[in-house]
Structure 1
Amino acid sequence: MPPTARDLTAGPCTLAVRQERPADHRAVAALHRAAFAPAAGTAEVVEARLVGELREDAGFLPHLSLVATDGDDVVGHVIGTRGWLEPLGAAAVGLGPLGVRPDAQGRGIGTVLVHALLAVAEAAGEHLVALLGSPAYYGRFGFVRSTDLGITPPDPAWGSHFQARRLAGPEQRGTFRYAEPFARL
């Protein structure tokens, strides 16, 4: 457990969700390193590196980089970045990575972060959010297999794990493309 973290099993959690700040970057990187396994044959955790690269990309949407805090501790993070639908270039959002510190998992923090990101995205006028993830997990937020909405995944092999959710606005169709750092994974 990080030295500044308190034992989340002791006492009530005072969870808050807010936009990520530069002062949160170290804690966000640490929680992604703790929440995800290193890439095969390396000590690198791809999700931690990816979040850093997404912050530097033209597709970074600061209002969609959210942290969950318990007091002063960052216990969860989710990021949404600019994606688009080809061939017309319609704007969309790519959700992920989503990470929760292991000692805080199982308390609904990921659920709160996904709901918050969807609410902020819709309030900002976004029309579609797409992601690569577990259908069992993301289905409860209204995500469905992307092809059911006319959205082709960047890699057809992703099948049912590439999902999308329409927000308010016109129906969009096309092939989804993530922000550039995803292409380097």
Structure 2
Amino acid sequence: MTIRQETPADYKDVFNLIEKAFRSEQHSDHKEQFLVERLRKSDAFIPELSLVAEVDGKIVGHILLTKLKIKNPVDSFDSLALAPVSVLPEFQGIGIGGKLIAESHKRAKELGHKSIVLLGHASYYPKFGYQRADKYEIELPFKVPKENCMVIELVENGLNGLSGIVEYPEAFNQ
């Protein structure tokens, strides 16, 4: 398996992959593929953090990290959103998602990013170092179970002094 930066030539395959990956997902609006399309066209998009996993030349996984802000009445902080990570159903459960997450963390850190926020499965993401966001007094702008709102520090103390409400890019709200 190889992990590389997504290119425009990959967009159609990635669209289909995301649709298949979330087709039977219970906690999904089944529109993640359209979110990725919108994010690619937004100011939040970081091409170096849109990654694909290939097996024998076939794209089997995708992950996207985009810019977001954490705001409170006094300050605003830069962070990243992990949304979504997708693996073709027939390739799920063999570690591809985990490898995409680890590689995206590495690349984000190399680009100078300090933290990532996500809304996801409470039992999956902690094994990659994610913790409940409320530990850092970080909240999402909508009601979700606290155990599903998570953050990770990419650098030591990357969340020190941060608190506030996540402000997602407009592309998330369409």
TM-score (norm 2): 0.90
Matched, 1:105 2:95: no
User: Contact 1:38–1:46 (CA<8 Å) still a contact in 2?
Assistant: no
Distance (Å, rounded) in 2 between the aligned partners of 1:117 and 1:155: 26
Post-superposition Cα deviations, 1:28-81, rounded to whole Å, max 9, x if no partner, equal 0010111112899xxx83111111111001100111100001122100000000
Q: 1:70-128 CA deviation, whole Å, 9 max, x = no partner?
A: 12210000000001111322110000111001111111100000011111111111111
Find the aligned partners of 2:148 and 2:52 in 1 and give their Cα distance. 24
How is 1:36-51 mapped onto 2 (pairs within 5 angstroms)?
Answer: 36-37=22-23, 45-51=30-36
Which of 1 and 2 has greater Rg?
1
Q: Distance in 1 between matches of 2:137 and 2:146?
A: 13
1:173 aligns with 2:148: no
Does the 8 Å CA contact 1:135/1:144 hold for their aligned counterparts? no
1:70 pairs with 2:70? no
- Find 1:127's aligned residue among 109, 114, 118: 114
Query: What does the per-residue CA deviation read over 1:116-163, in whole Å, with 9 as the maximum and x for residues that have no partner?
Result: 111111111111100000111000011111011221122233421010
| Aligned amino acid, residue 81 of structure 1 | T
User: Would you identify which runs of 4 or more consecutive aligned residues in structure 1 move more than 6 Å?
Assistant: none
Q: Answer yes or no: is the 8 Å Cα contact 1:61–1:82 preserved in 2.
A: yes
Instruction: Work out the CA distance in 1 between the residues paired with 2:117 and 2:159.
Output: 16
State the Cα RMSD in Å.
1.8
SS of 2:84's equivalent in the other structure is strand
Partner of 2:17: 31
Alpha-carbon separation, structure 2, partners of 1:130 and 1:80: 9
In structure 2, do the counterparts of structure 1 residues 121 and 105 end up closer, same or farther at CA, with 3 Å as the change threshold? same
Give the total of aligned pairs.
167
1:161 to 124, 142, 148: 148
1:137 to 121, 124, 143: 124
Flag structure 2 segments of 5+ consecutive residues without an equivalent: none
d(CA) in 2 for partners of 1:22, 1:65 = 11
C-alpha distance in structure 1 between counterparts of 2:171 and 2:43, whole Å:
10
Q: Which residue number in structure 2 is paired with residue 12 of structure 1?
A: none
Query: Hey, what's the Cα distance between the residues in 1 that align with 2:108 and 2:163?
Result: 18
Equivalent residue, structure 2, for 1:3: none
**Structure 1 stretches of 5 or more lacking a match?**
1-14
What is the alpha-carbon distance in structure 2 between the residues aligned to residue 26 and residue 133 of structure 1?
A: 25
Q: Among the aligned pairs, what percent are the same residue?
A: 32
Q: Are the structure 2 counterparts of residues 117 and 45 from structure 1 closer, same or farther at C-alpha, using a change threshold of 3 Å?
A: same
Structure 1 length as normaliser, TM-score?
A: 0.85
- 8 Å CA contact 1:84–1:90 kept in 2: the answer is yes
